[in-house]
Structure 1
Amino acid sequence: MPNRLAEEKSLYLQQHGDNPVDWYPWGQEALLRAKENGKPILVSIGYSSCHWCHVMAHECFENDYISQLMNEHFICIKVDREERPDIDQIYMEAVQMLNGNGGWPLNVFCLPDGRPFTGGTYFPPDDRGSGIIPWPQLLIRVADYFQRNRNELEQNARAIVGNLTASNQPVEASEEPINTTSIIEAAQTIVGQHDEKYGGFGDAPKFPSSMTLSFLLELRGSATINFKHQKLGNKIDQTVKSTLTAMARGGIYDQIGGGFARYSTDAFWVIPHFEKMLYDNGLLLDIYTKAYLRYRDPLYRCVIEETVAWLERDMRSPDGGFYSSLDSESEGIEGKYYVWTPRELEEILGKKEGSKFCQFYGISEKGNFEEGKSNPVLPVATLEEREKLRYFREKLLAARYQRPPPAKDKKQLTSWNSLAIRGLSEAGFYLNQPQWFEIAKKAADWIWEVMRFDKCRFYAVHNEGETRFNGYLNDYVFYSEALLSIASKAEWVHPGASKVYIDRACYIIASTIAHFKDGESNNFFFTSDDHEKLATRKIDWWDNAIPSGTSSLVHCLSSLYALTNDSQYIEKLISLSRSYSALAQKVPNGVPYALAGLVSDAIGVATIKIKGTGNIDALQDELSQRPWRRTFLLRSDKHQPAIYQLCIGTQCLDPTDDLGEIVNHLCF
């Protein structure tokens, strides 16, 4: 019999709609019921494409005996972390404080008022000798302890909330903004963690580390690296190239259909958890574009082209926005949609060509995955050999579309869409693909029309025709950064359009400051001032799988000051720089995207004012040849003779009709 979740909009909640568990969605009804019945609350948090969330659901939440225990002793609440990252942040931090680690599924036991007292992540249904307590045993223990030792649990909850509040204190800013020494030391720390054998950072599991790579690529173009720290520059080159190449050749990249999975389960990038997230692919489009401009590796261009094709083919909504994710499972089996046997390939491609494809893509009788199946990787083939196999990849992709597909989470998130918009905008311009830029622009316009309310407030989620939930800090700031990317290139294909997007970005940042800033301090909260009141209102400094909203704000403020010469933007940027100076010295890995923005600002944001009939296509062609500082193209007086004027920051050169002179000054 369906439970309350069956009618919810969230795919993740719907996936639990047939559980025998008496689930509630997050809301006042569940909290009131807990207080009325004097029961503890179980808050279970996950997302639709999460492999281990599915495993625990199948093993525990579909089990009648276990569900009976849950219903008898607890008020059970299911939360989609992608819709409610605010709730997820608080309970995740609580579990990390208790256990030293976290992850999803996240299962937290709380007092009837929602304050947590214990919790964990995945729990098996029985004892498997792993040292993890079985879920039914834990349920019985917690229920019994709640009845016998309520006062002790009250003390635990009070201490946890106190620690959450204490960890949420404003960052103590340095007296001076961040300096070159701190930036160089941060980069040295980061490249020192590079895995020189396999690329990436650290050991398994391995994540794309997009923000870290963004910082290194931004720093690589600075005069400090080019003239004073060439050895570090060489190390940055090695780190970035080995990581991006290993990912592009590995199994974390979908060699048949394009796009990246969330992370690799091994250190070699061979076997991923197969879920594909919109945010990873938006961020990686931007990274591979920057890397292609610097290193001109044609493999990177292939990755960009194939990832854009996947986004357009599989992830784009008819309204112009983008869906959130693809599940790791199909037919209840992780990776089944993506893996192959030699026999399958020979049936599709023919014996000779199938054997050849297996050789190049590491597909063997033994297999590199489960049950003799292989996830395609491309360890040694040359780019020419890869290109010759394009036709066979297309045949395999067509065959793969005949398989039952992974579930697609069709909710559209303002923040994740904004990351995809920025990646598409950058790739479209620098690879001279105006149709990609048009896709980005259409998605940006869709957000403005559909996700906006009260002049310049934003919703976080659009699903099944309905907009929901107050936008979070990253919804506002990621969207502003995406609009600025559109604005910087709009004159290329839409003369006169840049001002519209600059103005929108200004309005959004004003709204952000009004609703998210912590009074006179440098801190920005993750939730707005009129958001639902939770156990604590989290301050948002740290980059994680996506940049923090505050890190993204650094990029926005830098661009807006260069565009408007409005002192409020530089004042706020300097203020944030003082805070990031302190953070970079302590945990540089925690704030790389902010450091990327500060380096970009130090290099200098460029604006090229094109007056009259200036040849913007020639300028685009020049800009696509090598890496440049962040650059905005602005056009005015299009009926006058061609004149260009370059400004770097707020310092402007004399107008000239010589495009070559502009390009020479634009170099780092």
Structure 2
Amino acid sequence: MNRLSQESSPYLLQHAHNPVDWYPWGEEALTKAHQEDKPILVSIGYSACHWCHVMERESFENEQIARIMNDHFVCIKVDREERPDVDAIYMEAVHAMGVQGGWPLNVFLMPDARPFYGLTYLPPQQWANLLGSVRSAFNDHRDQLAESAEGFARHLNASEIQLYNLTETDALFTPETLEQLYRKLALKFDTEKGGMNRAPKFPMPSIYTFLLRYYHHTQNESALRQIIVTLNRMALGGIYDQIGGGFARYSVDDMWFAPHFEKMLYDNAQLLTLYSEAYPLTQNPLYRRVVYQTIDFARRELLSPEGGFYSALDADSEGEEGKFYTWTTPELKEILGNDFEWFSDLYHITEEGNWEPGHDGHGRNILHRTVTDEEFARQAGWSMEEMNEMLSVAHARLMSARSPRVRPGLDDKVLCSWNGLMLKGLATAYRIFGEPDFLTLAVQTANFLNGQMTDQHTGQLRHTFKNGKASVTGFLEDYAAVIDGYLALYQASFDEAWLRTADQLTRYVMEHFGDNDESTTELFYFTDSAGEALIARRKEILDNVIPASNSIMAGNLYTLSLLMDRPDYGERADQMLGRIQPLLQQYPGELTNWASLYAMRVRPTAEIAILGPQVQEIRRAIDARFYPNKVLSGTESESRLPLLENRSMTKGQTTIYVCYNRACQLPVTDVEEVWRMLH
């Protein structure tokens, strides 16, 4: 066993028995490289990464290759989910080298940690050859490597303002610019199959969150169609676990058919929010089912005893990708009996299998659909009651048959940021569907974050939790996602403790993640000033599968500015958006969460205050209709929060105040009156 056996990360522990003399990232490895004057190999991956497992089997378990690595390099293994700061720096370096990034990410560094070469997966012989070439270059052409490393270090230390040519701009929130953002983004839509016009296809929830907000302003039917076709095809496709609920990370094709089968908490958390938000607009029962099933999946397979959610499930089980989730036709016939015929029509089952055969040579089927329950029932001449009963019975049989199978590996570390995303998903689901269990689970998650992942003395967040211990100084992504989750929970429950905790964390961010250089002061660093110093300190700007921490934080500041009457927070959010706006107008597809905030700012946001004993009933009635450009504040009796202070009920009835820009209209007691006041 190597040093990784002392780590808690499941990904690092997977490599604890490699013959490679792996070190975790830290002072010991960096000091060794410096003292022995050896190049460093940093190999970065994560536990649910299929090709990471392949490279481990082929190369890192190979005694001869391990000997080369041990003799000539200091080898460091990094879990990218545990250390996103390290991953971001060396991924940026590899991009600067002109290499397509991905995982496993293997980067060669000088002894002082400056990168000079990097790449992703290589087969074993090519990997061994590369190790020899790098060793020779380090020994014989050291000056050239050092020069190259210095260039990449300069690139990494250039400010994002320089890299993206961001000039200081006053944000101008106009319907014309919003329309330009949409039209530029729409050029890349797959209008037939949903998603973007490419393969593989990733869910990318922030794109459709933006489209929901754009549609709210414009009523553009093309945008609505794109939302519906995408959400429908994802929910019906193989990327969604039709039996157990929950989404896989992406589809390898452009049909949402064949997933890369790992399930990540961050995808499912964000998709809970997206499908919940889309439901009041569409009233689509499919979206309701997705939300309920996905929460059931997360509770069943990802919930830790302490109350946090684990990170991921592998794609593989028994060494075979997708084996847990796929079916042979004989299996389905035996389990379903007389129900097989209609089930095979609905889920496109074929005798030889609709996907690649397993290691046993038998053809396997991915369950996927192209029509909704309603469409299939109509074609079959069934009532919806009959359809629901038949599906329920068939799914229960398959779930029971699947349960004893060898399960995919579980990454059982709990990440603060991803749990913040899950908290928002649960709170949003409760707001829309009113299911008490959803609120219970949301409060449990919030209590876990506030109790187990927050340092009670300093107020700092910790990034990861495993074996009863929280560790790694929190990153901006942790603060941004957790604040967002607390704000969602406050607007679902009206428990003011969560709003005040969100404000406390925001104050911490302002103090410890800010930039003292006045020319770039709007945007926040990814790392805490009290955290480990790396060779560069970066700011995360571009939205990806998870939105950029700066874009989430800008949204938090805007929401808090309204709920807490903090104009300075609103000014900071507008400054951040103003700095990004030129880039946003050029590349809206890379900045869709920023675009959502922009859409919120095109028209004033409704500030809705509810006072009285029926506060939750009124809140539910307001949330039942699609109106994303609002914030909610409420209390049963009295409150000192700015939106509620010094307000009273009308004639003893629960009363609603609708305000814009801190100016309120006359109070009303009827929700229908609220809709007449909103614009």
TM-score by length of 1: 0.93
Aligned to 2:382: none
Aligned to 1:130: none
Letter in 1 for 2:147: Q
- Structure 1 counterpart of 2:490, from 479, 487, 490: 487
Aligned to 1:113: 112
Aligned to 1:40: 39
Structure 2, unpaired ranges of 5+: 358-362, 378-386, 639-647
Aligned to 1:446: 448
Alignment of 1:157 with 2:143, yes or no, is no
- Structure 2 counterpart of 1:476, from 474, 479, 483: 479
- Structure 1 counterpart of 2:512, from 510, 515, 518: 515
Residues 524-535 of structure 1 mapped to structure 2, 5 A cutoff: 524-535=524-535
- Structure 2 counterpart of 1:166, from 158, 161, 182: 158
Q: Are the equivalent residues in 2 in contact too, given 1:325–1:410 (CA < 8 A)?
A: yes
Deviates more, 1:114-123 or 1:28-37: 28-37
Displacement, 1:618?
4.4
Q: Are the equivalent residues in 1 in contact too, given 2:239–2:251 (CA < 8 A)?
A: yes
Q: Are the equivalent residues in 1 in contact too, given 2:608–2:630 (CA < 8 A)?
A: no
**1: distance between equivalents of 2:619 and 2:676?**
12
Displacement, 1:637?
2.4
**2: distance between equivalents of 1:435 and 1:136?**
54
Aligned to 1:218: 213
**2: distance between equivalents of 1:625 and 1:180?**
23
Aligned to 2:642: none
- Structure 2 counterpart of 1:432, from 431, 434, 437: 434
Displacement, 1:567?
1.8
Q: Are the equivalent residues in 2 in contact too, given 1:342–1:355 (CA < 8 A)?
A: no
Aligned to 1:335: 322
**2: distance between equivalents of 1:185 and 1:625?**
27
Aligned to 1:362: 348
RMSD: 1.7
Residues 240-259 of structure 1 mapped to structure 2, 5 A cutoff: 240-259=227-246
**1: distance between equivalents of 2:672 and 2:370?**
42
Q: Are the equivalent residues in 2 in contact too, given 1:178–1:580 (CA < 8 A)?
A: no
- Structure 2 counterpart of 1:180, from 175, 181, 185: 175
**1: distance between equivalents of 2:530 and 2:228?**
45
**2: distance between equivalents of 1:107 and 1:10?**
19
Aligned to 1:207: 202
Aligned to 2:258: 271
**2: distance between equivalents of 1:569 and 1:637?**
28
Q: Identity over aligned residues, as a percent?
A: 38
Q: Are the equivalent residues in 1 in contact too, given 2:99–2:119 (CA < 8 A)?
A: no
Aligned to 2:360: none
Residues 298-447 of structure 1 mapped to structure 2, 5 A cutoff: 298-350=285-337, 352-371=338-357, 372-380=363-371, 382-383=373-374, 385=377, 387=388, 388-447=390-449
Deviates more, 1:281-290 or 1:648-657: 648-657
Q: Secondary structure at the match of 2:134?
A: helix
Alignment of 1:556 with 2:559, yes or no, is no
**2: distance between equivalents of 1:365 and 1:380?**
21
- Structure 1 counterpart of 2:658, from 626, 646, 650: 646
**2: distance between equivalents of 1:587 and 1:167?**
19
Aligned to 1:61: 60
Displacement, 1:626?
3.4
Give per-residue Cα distances to partners, 1:483-542, cap 9 Å, x unaligned: 110111214xxxxx2x21111111111111111111232121100112211111011211
Give per-residue Cα distances to partners, 1:613-661, cap 9 Å, x unaligned: 3453144134314344333131152696123222234221122333331
Aligned to 1:295: 282
Letter in 2 for 1:300: Y
**2: distance between equivalents of 1:619 and 1:510?**
28
Aligned to 1:494: none
Q: Secondary structure at the match of 1:59?
A: helix
**1: distance between equivalents of 2:157 and 2:458?**
33
Distance 1:326 1:183, change over 3 A: same
Q: Secondary structure at the match of 1:634?
A: strand
Letter in 2 for 1:358: S
Give per-residue Cα distances to partners, 1:571-592, cap 9 Å, x unaligned: 1122112112122122211211
**1: distance between equivalents of 2:10 and 2:564?**
43
**2: distance between equivalents of 1:562 and 1:179?**
20
Deviates more, 1:383-392 or 1:305-314: 383-392
Q: Secondary structure at the match of 2:676?
A: helix
Q: Secondary structure at the match of 2:77?
A: strand
Give per-residue Cα distances to partners, 1:2-45, cap 9 Å, x unaligned: 11112210000000011111100001111111122221111000
Q: Are the equivalent residues in 2 in contact too, given 1:5–1:25 (CA < 8 A)?
A: yes
**1: distance between equivalents of 2:289 and 2:401?**
21
Give per-residue Cα distances to partners, 1:134-155, cap 9 Å, x unaligned: 1111111111111111111101
**2: distance between equivalents of 1:580 and 1:99?**
24
Letter in 2 for 1:356: W
Aligned to 1:582: 582
Aligned to 2:645: none
Q: Are the equivalent residues in 2 in contact too, given 1:341–1:363 (CA < 8 A)?
A: no
Q: Are the equivalent residues in 1 in contact too, given 2:169–2:579 (CA < 8 A)?
A: yes
Displacement, 1:84?
0.2
Structure 1, unpaired ranges of 5+: 127-133, 227-232, 492-496
Q: Secondary structure at the match of 1:240?
A: helix
Letter in 2 for 1:616: Q
